Structure 1
Amino acid sequence: MHTQIAYRGKIKYDEATAKAYQERPPRQHAAEIALIDRVLRAMPTCRTMLDLPCGAGRVSLHLAQRGYAVTCADNSASMLELTRRVLEQNGLDCAVDPQDIEALTYNDRQFDAILCFRLFHHFPTPEIRQRAVAELARVARRYVALSYFSPWSPTSVKRRLRAALGGRPSQKYATPCSEVCAYFTFHGFRLVADFARSPLLHTLHVALFERVQ
């Protein structure tokens, strides 16, 4: 039995923070949705999709409008309420569940695919990353698409340099693709592709993993 750590990314999304997160710059939102669509095209046979974390519902809405049977999950009650509101406003009926990624309550292989977008970079330790991947791998029938922050992007390099020079350490934790792959390989998944708007420039990547049959 493990002791869970209340790291900042897990507890910071109260009502005010959740509402602020909902207001994504339109250009950034469009670029991120386009990136997700590239990932979706690489897993064409999926129907049931877990969006974890669902945040304020912007990706869940996109997935549902594309025809996926979406289950939305998040650890933040405020985020879940925003997701419910967005879905209701658009006439969509999706399950919206409170879930902790380190201890999911879903059945083994319950979903064809899982999209875990903009969460992994909040995990401060390898132990938390390992527990999260173990649960994602357990619940996914075939695919897991997981975003992470590349440590080799200009932004990540600047953050490390700032901390080395005595500045405030970043609370966004970059991880190399090799580390992410190692976690999934342990649980019987292989890397299908690694996606980014521009791999050498942009920090946000999405790695798509498939269960080895």
Structure 2
Amino acid sequence: MTESDVAYGAKSKYTEVKARAYANRDARRNIPELRLVARAFQLIPKPARVLDVPCGGGRVTVLLGQLGYEMSAGDYSDPMRQITRETTAANGLKVEIFKEDIEQLSQRDQSFDAIVCFRFFHHLPNAELRRKVVGELCRVARRHVAMSYFNPRTLRALEQEIRKLRGRKLTVFNTSLAEVSAYFAEYGFRLVKNFRLDLINNLHLAVFERAPR
């Protein structure tokens, strides 16, 4: 089994039971993260067609739909897509939902005004995969990409490194803003603004835009 195969445990682990457990976690845990997404999207003007990929249980899709964006969603996991269908329908939203492999999106070039990719990038263990994923996001986005990542210069990241030194296997991979920005620059995107969840957590959300030629 290669390192890429291990990384994509995130791709295949969401069975029906695990997907439901993830989607039904304590809603209070979602509040700070959804506020973070809402803050970032203040930089992305409406009207806009937005693709949420991978969409998980659809919480970001619902949030942005309620904020007035025209939403579509995609995920590799069949149970996650079904949960998103249920979640969006329960909130009165009509959302087109696709089966998507984020390494090779099925969407046309620049077919969405913006893409949001939330709580996924930290699963990628090496530069090759990270560059490939960023390339696909940039290919499909006409103007903006909002993508979260785990920043290594945080207290939470330090805790993870200490656990690693004690022999625990890490299942998340921290990446600096400089590294993330460099991948986007390769595809003609520049950083607009970086947002952090709080002073402790390593979850950050960066907004990038297509640079003018």
- Look up the match of 2:118: 117
* Equivalent position SS for 2:113: strand
Unaligned runs of 5+ in 2: none
TM-score, structure 2 normalization: 0.93
Q: Please report the RMSD computed on the Cα atoms of aligned residues, expressed in angstroms.
A: 1.3
Query: CA contact under 8 A between 2:47 and 2:70: conserved in structure 1?
Result: no
Query: CA contact under 8 A between 2:47 and 2:68: conserved in structure 1?
Result: no
- Look up the match of 2:100: 99
Query: CA contact under 8 A between 1:149 and 1:205: conserved in structure 2?
Result: yes
Q: Equivalents in 1 of 2:154, 2:24: separation in Å?
A: 25
Alignment CA distance shift 1:175-1:46 (3 Å): farther
- 1:148 is displaced (CA, Å) by 0.3
- 1:53 is displaced (CA, Å) by 0.9
2:42 maps to amino acid: R
- Look up the match of 1:57: 58
Deviations 1:153-208 (A, max 9, x none): 11111111211222x2210111111110000000000000100132x422100011
- Look up the match of 1:212: 211
- 1:27 is displaced (CA, Å) by 2.6
Deviates more, 1:186-195 or 1:64-73: 64-73
TM-score, structure 1 normalization: 0.93
Q: Equivalents in 2 of 1:25, 1:176: separation in Å?
A: 29
- 1:46 is displaced (CA, Å) by 4.7
> Is 1:67 paired with 2:96?
no
> Is 1:178 paired with 2:187?
no
Unaligned runs of 5+ in 1: none
Deviations 1:124-147 (A, max 9, x none): 111111110000000000000000
Alignment CA distance shift 1:208-1:46 (3 Å): farther
- Look up the match of 2:163: 162
1:129 maps to amino acid: R
* Equivalent position SS for 1:41: helix
* Equivalent position SS for 2:32: helix
Query: CA contact under 8 A between 1:9 and 1:123: conserved in structure 2?
Result: no
* Equivalent position SS for 1:5: helix
Query: CA contact under 8 A between 1:47 and 1:69: conserved in structure 2?
Result: yes
- Look up the match of 2:88: 87
> Is 1:190 paired with 2:190?
yes
Percent of pairs with identical residues: 42
Q: Equivalents in 1 of 2:46, 2:211: separation in Å?
A: 16
Q: Equivalents in 2 of 1:46, 1:24: separation in Å?
A: 31
- Look up the match of 1:135: 136
Query: CA contact under 8 A between 1:74 and 1:80: conserved in structure 2?
Result: yes
* Equivalent position SS for 2:182: helix
